[in-house]
Amino acid sequence: MRRDFCDGVGIARLLNATLVLPKFEVAAYWNESSGFADVFDVNYFIKQMNGFVKVVRELPPEISSKEPFRVDCSKRKGQFDYIESVLPSLLKHHYISITPAMSQRRDRYPQYAKAALCQACYSALRLTKSLEKKANELLEAIPKPFLSLHLRFEPDMVAYSQCQYSGLSPTSMEAIEAARGDDRKPWTGEAARIWRKRGKCPLMPNEAAFILQAISVPTNTNIYLAAGDGLMEIEGLTSIYTNVVTKSALLSSEDFKSMHGNTKAALDYYVSINSDSYVATYFGNMDKMVAAMRAFKGLHKTLFLSRRAFSEFTSEGLEGKQLMEALWKVHKEDFVMGRGSALPDCFCEFEL
């Protein structure tokens, strides 16, 4: 959502439009009903964006009573595409809503739109004071030094990947099946093998632990687990790395139960950008945003574990010491440099 909102700022600047603070989607799976103001400091954001983009909290009554004209921006490629294809809808309807623009080419933006997007991403979006206070309390409670591990093996994530796994517990299998629905059936046969070999399948906790050992991360390392509530098969990690802490264990049960999915994710984000090192088992939106912010802050110990390399090597029959050596070679350069893919899609003016 943070990435999509930053994109929205860039698009608003391209179109010389006023930006209305967004409403978050309601997601029952994540116990989600929070709004923008529950996560981000609204007054600070509006103040910081002054001179870049005009921002309003809500629409005037004469417009808010209408449904916005919906524009699909998912395939837009650059500034001229927006000006030629989206601006006419804005001028005609005066009030439009846009879908996330995942494939847009931000590098093609003019400098003024790049500046607005970067101002939003790196300077204007900060947590509410109460949430930042809670995040700092969590950060202080974690034994130091520590590694923040973003481990993605929740039922919805596995269901979305359409991957099959063997050896999972009955509880995990039931949770995955419940999250699949009718449109996310797993690949089978040769298609499943190709899909996995392309690195499309989330790493299981025991696979992540194996790669961490391959790159010589000591098993007594303090690890903060940045992950959703429904994380499965966690024993595969904690049986090897014994100093693993979670926000549910460090926060009071009352605090934790009252939090929604977005506020929990915000805590993970805050802890991860301030951790001594950050390791991700996926290359998702949060990982990209954390890596970019860490680089912006001068924290370069950031590493993405390669699902593709793990799948390729295991499909070739490598195991044990041979597999560890092969995985070390794949991750060696990024691990030694301590940066990994630190600046995905970033064009902001600062030096590493």
Predicted local distance difference test score (pLDDT) of residue 337: 60
Position with higher pLDDT, 142 vs 7: 142
- Asked if residue 138 and residue 59 are part of one domain, the reply reads no
The answer to whether residue 191 sits within a structural domain is no
Containing structural domain, residue 307: 130-153+202-337
Q: Which of 61-70, 271-280, 333-342 has the lowest mean pLDDT?
A: 333-342
149 lies in a domain?
yes
310 and 270, same structural domain?
Answer: yes
Q: Within a domain: residue 165?
A: no
Q: Is 322 found in the same domain as 289? A: yes
pLDDT at 198 over 50: yes
Side-chain-facing half-sphere of 62: CA atoms under 13 Å:
2
Cα–Cα dist 264/127, whole Å: 12
Which pLDDT value is given to residue 49? 96
Instruction: Return the pLDDT at 352.
Output: 34
The whole-number pLDDT of residue 26 equals 55
Q: What is the pLDDT of residues 108-124, one digit of tens each?
A: 788 888 889 889 988 99
118 in Cβ contact with 7 (< 8 Å): no
CATH code of residue 230:
3.40.50.11350
Domain match, 142 and 272 both: yes
Angle in degrees, CA 30, 36, 41, rounded to 5: 125
- Give the per-residue pLDDT at 351: 43
User: Is 196 part of any domain?
Assistant: no
Judge whether 326 and 204 are in contact, CB under 8 Å.
Answer: no
Placement of tokens 């509006």 in the chain: 46
Length of the chain as a residue count: 352
Using CA atoms of 273, 274, 279, 285 in order, give the dihedral in degrees to the nearest 10: -10
Give the number of domains in the chain.
2
Mean pLDDT of 321-350: 72
Q: Do 77 and 102 reside in the same domain of the chain?
A: yes
Pair 134, 116 in one domain? no
Predicted TM-score (pTM) of the model is 0.88
Looking at the fold, whether 99 and 148 belong to one and the same domain comes out as no
Distance between CA atoms of residues 308 and 270, nearest Å: 28
C-alpha–C-alpha distance, residues 305 and 334, integer Å: 10
Same-domain check for residues 114 and 142: no
Averaged pLDDT, 66-90: 79
The average pLDDT across 222-248 equals 93
What pLDDT was estimated at residue 350? 46
Q: Which span out of 18-22, 228-232, 243-247, 336-340 was modeled with the highest average pLDDT?
A: 243-247
Residues 26 and 85 occupy one common structural domain: yes
Mean pLDDT of the chain: 86
Residues 107 and 139 in one domain: no
**If pLDDT is split at 50, 70 and 90, which confidence band does 52 have?**
very high
Are 248 and 110 within one domain?
no
- Do 271 and 297 belong together in one domain? yes
Give the distance from CA 129 to its chain's centroid.
22
